[in-house]
Chains A and B, each alone.
Chain A
Amino acid sequence: MELRRTLTYRADFWVNFIGQTLFSIIIAYFLWSSIFETLNVEVLNGFTMERMIVYYLLVPLVFRIQQGQTIGSISREIYEGSLNKFLLYPINFYVFKIITHFAGAAFYFAQIFVIIGLYQSFADNVIFEMTFLKFVYFSIAMFGISIAYFCLNSLSELVAFWADYIWSLGVIIRFAVSFLGGALIPLSFFPEWSMEILNLTPFPYMISFPMKILLGEVLLKEFLFNMAVLTVWTLIFLFFSRLLWNKGRYRYTGVGI
């Protein structure tokens, strides 16, 4: 159903998808070309120009997989009163919402492999190979990241039990994950002192970690460590999310606005 909904307006969907990917690459290409030219170097913080372009080609797709399809829907249901039906369904609300979230994420997950396939078919100088092991690591990581993001985002969505309209709170979380996760600029460019602090937060595990897997920089030991940290953060988010849900649903009137 999610797939059908996403593809209702096919032309729009593909124009948006191709346009977003293309412009993201164009902006990144010209920005980093300018920097590489000014410094007259071929490698900067472990990135060649080719590697940088691949990074910016894949990072928006990783970001979309993580975001899934449910952003804003929980708060909207609370706000409009359409949460009623979920309270009556014979299925756990969280399970239902996570499945919906995955349905959207799965579609973007397929997209990233189309892009990787196209890149490997047409690029002159292919800088990374997609092995079976990488595929397994990446799939497991994105599964975990999707759940983690869902739980983190639900913290903001459930505030709707207390405040009518909280769209901007979700946007703050998106900004934070995007910038502090390394979607705007690779984390290796961040100053060292900031990385010491960032590593104590969930953000590097949500974007930089899967990007490292794709670009071939993660060994089994590091993979297991990162997944363990991600799991701990997910449990923390889930705990607080359940707390908000349990308290918030008693405030819910079901009337809607």
Chain B
Amino acid sequence: MSRYLRLYAHFLRFSFSKAMEFRVDFFFRVVMDIFFYAVQFAFFHIIYLHTPILAGWDLEQMRVFIVSYIFIDALHMTVFSTNCWWLPIYINRGDLDYYLVKPVSTLFFLSLKDFAANSFLNLLIAGSLVVWALTNYPAPLEPIKVVIYLLLLINGTFLYFLLNLIFLLAVFWTQSPRGYGDLFFSVSHVMERPDRIYKGVVRKVFIFLLPFAVMASFPARFLMEDNQWHLLGVIFGVTTCFFLLVQVIWRLGLRNYSSASS
């Protein structure tokens, strides 16, 4: 374990020094994410000009939901997204060999080696937005629930990453340069809407098969609504299943990996 922590510390050091090489991009990334956050707030504010309630939530409650998925997006962008960008390229080009021979878990290495230091400032901004939304929430929030909510957001990020991996690992079989990364990007917008809008079979799909509803919406519900402890079971059950599924797909994919580039 300590070996992996030491290795991650090296990843961090290297990533920060690399980010400093592209200072203008660093600045634009901050602007880009601030603009993205502003669009998210504006989108729901416009909707609330026409309806007082959406999926059972008023505007103050919706703000907590918005900052929840913004935080998940920022954490994913910082820790995982650069790695997710490169992973299918390594597989497609046959560059995975170099990582397979390293004396650490290949999936660990490839998932965490690039820490997006230029998104780190955005993570701080997203964190501040969470603090702002929670402190301005009109009803009292139980401290224990706040702590669990924050842990659930981290879990939501991990689940988001696992699902992203599943879409990307398809590259082992399709041999295309991006896997189904673009499709994942389109599906991931499901996370940006409250889970209660989805009904029937589609709702079950977005909870159990493509669990985007579980990532931000469930933590926000757990925090703001009474008697939602059962959601914890669903969240951890789904996360565990997807963690195991990724391991299986990764192993099957490696068996299919020919090392030749395409």
| Minimal Cβ-Cβ distance residue in B for A18 | B183
What is the CB-to-nearest-CB distance from B171 to chain A, in angstroms, rounded to a whole number?
A: 9
| B60 surroundings in chain A (CB, below 8 A) | none
Interface stretch of the complex, out of B38-46, B217-225, B238-246? B38-46
Give the CA-CA distance A189 to B45 in the complex, in Å.
11
* Any A CB within 8 A of the CB of B49: yes
Q: Mark B169-192, 1 if CB is under 8 A from A, else 0.
A: 000001111111011001101100
B46 touches A172 (CB 8 A): no
A39 touches B28 (CB 8 A): no
A12 touches B50 (CB 8 A): no
Interfacial residues of chain A within 161-176, with CB under 8 A of chain B in the complex: 162-169, 171-172, 175-176
| B182 surroundings in chain A (CB, below 8 A) | 16, 20
| B197 surroundings in chain A (CB, below 8 A) | 30-31, 33-34
A30 touches B178 (CB 8 A): no
| A159 surroundings in chain B (CB, below 8 A) | 24
* Any B CB within 8 A of the CB of A120: no
| Other-chain contact of A179, B28, B42, B193 (Cβ < 8 Å) | B42
| Other-chain contact of B46, A24, A39, A189 (Cβ < 8 Å) | A189
B202 touches A30 (CB 8 A): yes
| B53 surroundings in chain A (CB, below 8 A) | 38
| A106 surroundings in chain B (CB, below 8 A) | none
From DSSP, what is the main secondary structure of chain A's interface residues? Answer: helix
* Any B CB within 8 A of the CB of A131: no
Interfacial residues of chain B within 1-59, with CB under 8 A of chain A in the complex: 21-22, 24-25, 28-29, 31-32, 35-36, 39, 42-43, 46-47, 49-51, 53-55
| B42 surroundings in chain A (CB, below 8 A) | 179
- Would A27 and B190 be within 8 Å (CB), given that A9-B176, A165-B25 are in contact? yes
Chain A: number of interface residues, binned into ranges: 35 or more
A35 touches B24 (CB 8 A): no
| B54 surroundings in chain A (CB, below 8 A) | 34-35, 38
* Any A CB within 8 A of the CB of B255: no
| B28 surroundings in chain A (CB, below 8 A) | 166, 168-169, 172
From DSSP, what is the main secondary structure of chain B's interface residues? Answer: helix
| Minimal Cβ-Cβ distance residue in A for B205 | A26
A30 touches B180 (CB 8 A): no
* Any B CB within 8 A of the CB of A232: no
- Would A191 and B49 be within 8 Å (CB), given that A9-B176, A19-B183, A19-B187 are in contact? yes
B176 touches A12 (CB 8 A): yes
| A24 surroundings in chain B (CB, below 8 A) | 186, 189
What is the CB-to-nearest-CB distance from A41 to chain B, in angstroms, rounded to a whole number?
A: 10
B187 touches A35 (CB 8 A): no
| B198 surroundings in chain A (CB, below 8 A) | 30
A164 touches B22 (CB 8 A): yes
What is the CB-to-nearest-CB distance from B40 to chain A, in angstroms, rounded to a whole number?
A: 10
* Any B CB within 8 A of the CB of A23: yes
Give the CA-CA distance A35 to B48 in the complex, in Å.
10
| Minimal Cβ-Cβ distance residue in A for B55 | A34
B32 touches A172 (CB 8 A): yes
Give the CA-CA distance A19 to B179 in the complex, in Å.
13
Q: Can you offer 28 A-B residue contacts whose CB atoms are under 8 A?
A: A12-B179, A12-B180, A15-B180, A15-B183, A16-B183, A23-B186, A23-B187, A23-B190, A24-B186, A27-B189, A30-B202, A35-B50, A39-B50, A162-B24, A165-B25, A166-B25, A168-B25, A169-B32, A171-B32, A172-B32, A175-B35, A179-B42, A184-B43, A185-B43, A185-B47, A189-B47, A189-B50, A191-B49
Q: A12-B176, A19-B187, A163-B24 are known contacts; what are 18 more A-B pairs with Cβ within 8 Å? A: A9-B174, A12-B178, A12-B179, A20-B182, A23-B187, A23-B190, A27-B190, A34-B196, A38-B53, A39-B50, A164-B21, A165-B22, A165-B25, A168-B28, A172-B28, A175-B39, A185-B46, A191-B46
Residues of B at under 8 Å CB distance from A? 21-22, 24-25, 28-29, 31-32, 35-36, 39, 42-43, 46-47, 49-51, 53-55, 174-180, 182-183, 186-187, 189-190, 193, 196-199, 202
Residues of A at under 8 Å CB distance from B? 9, 11-12, 15-16, 19-20, 23-24, 26-27, 30-31, 33-35, 38-39, 44-45, 159, 162-169, 171-172, 175-176, 179, 184-185, 189-191
